[in-house]
């Protein structure tokens, strides 16, 4: 490097730091399973040719703090999940729901398909 190359070195180091930060943020959402806390229940309109609504939840991820949308399977699955519950998410692309890349698997440690009665979380009822 020459005598007058300080600006180029400074710009290169800034760009490298930005790229590393972006990669770290992307890695959190590329995992196959994530956990988070339910913030809101929503019903999304499905793209054609399927019509109707599908029930989803907005979840704040534990790892990165981002809010994402997750699909809730099964009839009455939304009745099981309450706001503030801990859910485990699986990466599953829902083609007919826009911006929905995850599906709920468990709520407070019990699978949504196997629910009989809802257990309480000890940390909530202290």
The DSSP bridge partners found for residue 68 are 59
How many alpha carbons fall within 13 Å on the CB side of residue 51? 0
Q: Provide the pLDDT confidence category of residue 58 given band limits of 50, 70 and 90.
A: very high
pLDDT at 85: 92
Q: What separation, in Å, do the N-terminal and C-terminal C-alpha atoms of the chain show?
A: 63
Task: Tell the burial category of 46 from Cβ atoms under 10 Å away from its Cβ (0-12, 13-18, 19+).
Answer: middle
pLDDT in tens, 62-121: 988 999 999 998 888 888 899 999 999 999 888 888 889 999 999 988 888 777 666 665
Convert 20-45 into a string of H (helix), E (strand) and C (coil): HHHHHHHHHHCCCEEEEEEEEEEEEE
pLDDT at 28: 53
pLDDT at 25: 58
Q: Provide the pLDDT confidence category of residue 20 given band limits of 50, 70 and 90.
A: low
Cis peptide before 70 (omega within 30 of 0): no
């Amino acid at each position: 490097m020459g005598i007058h190359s300080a600006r180029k070195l400074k710009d290169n180091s800034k760009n490298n730091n930005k790229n590393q930060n972006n990669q770290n943020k992307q890695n959190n959402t590329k995992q196959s399973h994530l956990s988070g806390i339910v913030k809101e229940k929503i019903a999304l309109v499905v793209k054609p040719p399927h019509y109707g609504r599908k029930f989803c939840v907005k979840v704040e991820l534990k790892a990165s703090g981002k809010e994402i949308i997750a699909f809730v399977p099964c009839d009455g699955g939304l009745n099981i999940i309450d706001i503030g519950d801990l859910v485990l998410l699986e990466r599953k692309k829902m083609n007919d729901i826009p911006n929905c890349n995850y599906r709920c698997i468990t709520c407070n440690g019990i699978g949504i398909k196997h629910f009989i009665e809802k257990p309480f979380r000890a940390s909530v009822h202290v």
